[in-house]
A and B are shown apart, each in its own frame.
Chain A
Amino acid sequence: MPKIRYQGTHYDCTEHQSVLDVLLANQLAIPSSCRSGQCQTCLMQAISGKPPAAAQQGLKDTLKTQNYFLACSCIPQEDMEITLPDASDLRMKAIVKHIEKLSNEVVSICLQSDVPIAYRPGQFINLFRDENTARSYSLASLPDQDDCMQLHVRKVPGGRMTGWLHEEIACGTQVEISQAAGTCFYAPGNMEQPMLLIGTGTGLAPLYGIARDALSHGHKGEIRLFHGSMNRDGLYLHGALQALATEFANFRYFPCISNEAVNDPLITSGHVLDIAMQQHGNLSGWRVYLCGNPDMVKAARKKTFLGGAAMNDIYSDAFIPAQA
């Protein structure tokens, strides 16, 4: 079995153990969250030894060529010497500029970084509370139109990061963030292609960014945004989305409530995925974006694919919670 060397000490790997497993088992402090290769908070760098391809999936080419890899997805195939990335290379300082309550559970947080970061609406950044606590948040803003990076953060009961974000930070608080990552964003081109966007909860954050981005690029095809929530309060940005639908003839907004009586003709009762699929049985030729609850995203990937959308036209971000 290969060995890994970290901070001058060798550690033995057992079969199927990831680098993250090995380091955590040895009580070393390494940031991590989803433990499934999605969030990139566990980014590390190999000084020697080649990270396997699976450990570099989803990384930018510039990071790949510098032998960065995801510790949670790295089952070493050979001896490796590894290090945590130099924080000053990959992390930036940002200031909280503005906090706004969007619903009882969701706040919008606007951040401004010292050095402007390049991002596409719908990508996510990792926000660090301290050296080892980082969580991913999607970008709802447009870099060329909005002054700040806007996040939508839903409060999770007992949540380590969201408790801090909802209760402790204020305008002027300084935070650390990563570069933007992820592939769930609008790529200009194929301007007539119809687009279906389905999100639950703060899955609206990336979708709101993607829809506005597509519209500001002059996308011509239909854009249909389905937003699902358990209750009326969760349908945040309701007014803004209705206004967007009035402004752009090719944009339509379908709010859905699954767990509460509905007495508003503009809101549909039921689960957002069922409702979207009822209206869009044939998705052949469509571009699809799916964000939010991981179970919803997984089911939706399958349903939209079976409905005819090409695998390459399905983009998604499952908001996988941090593992304990």
Chain B
Amino acid sequence: MNQNLYHKLGGEAAVNAAVDIFYRKVLSDDRISEFFDDVDMESQAAKQKAFLTMAFGGPNNYNGMDMRRGHAHLVKRGLNDSHFDAVVENLAATLKELNVGGDLISEVAALCETTRNDVLGK
């Protein structure tokens, strides 16, 4: 958790502003959309919020083990570094669209990076 980053981004309001834009990008990105396609959209949206809150440094209850467990079924389906990069790229593009500055976007990307090994089950 990184209170400072979360605060600077605008907290929960920023998450709410980002969720539709980010999810729309992910669903239209052929590199990764298959991972999100068969899950119910409504509950997906709630999970996107959890993801964004975490990536923005906000309050969450996930540890590395949860991230491993939560993505293990996707790793089995072939989730790899290129997919991870695509998600971070879509996240950066979302923030850019919301006029977030480059330095903050880099901070978000760096925070995501700390979860890479857990998400990819390495």
Binding site for B on A (CB under 8 A): 301-302, 305-306, 310-311
Contact = CB atoms under 8 A, between A and B. Distances in A.
A311 B27 contact: no
Task: Please give me the 4 A-B residue pairs with the lowest Cβ-Cβ distance, nearest first.
Answer: A311-B45, A301-B41, A311-B20, A310-B20
Interface of chain A, main secondary structure = helix
A310 B28 CA distance: 15
Interface string B37-58: 0000110010000000000000
A306 B41 CA distance: 12
A301 B45 CA distance: 12
Contacts of B27: 302, 305-306
A311 B28 contact: no
B24 interface: yes
Given A305-B20, A306-B27, 16 more contacts: A301-B41, A302-B27, A302-B41, A305-B23, A305-B24, A305-B27, A305-B41, A306-B24, A306-B28, A310-B20, A311-B19, A311-B20, A311-B23, A311-B41, A311-B42, A311-B45
A151 B109 CA distance: 52
Nearest to B19: A311
A15 to B, nearest CB: 13
Contacts of A310: 20
Interface in B1-53: 19-20, 23-24, 27-28, 41-42, 45
A45 to B, nearest CB: 24
Contacts of A311: 19-20, 23, 41-42, 45
Contacts of A306: 24, 27-28
A306 B28 CA distance: 7
Nearest to A310: B20
18 contacts: A301-B41, A302-B27, A302-B41, A305-B20, A305-B23, A305-B24, A305-B27, A305-B41, A306-B24, A306-B27, A306-B28, A310-B20, A311-B19, A311-B20, A311-B23, A311-B41, A311-B42, A311-B45
Nearest to B36: A302
Contacts of B24: 305-306
A181 to B, nearest CB: 16
Nearest to A54: B43
A73 to B, nearest CB: 11
Nearest to B45: A311
A59 to B, nearest CB: 15
B82 to A, nearest CB: 23
Contacts of A302: 27, 41
A158 B23 CA distance: 41
Nearest to B37: A302
B30 to A, nearest CB: 13
Q: Which of A301, A310, A311 has the most CB of B within 10 A?
A: A311
A319 to B, nearest CB: 16
A237 to B, nearest CB: 29
Nearest to B27: A306
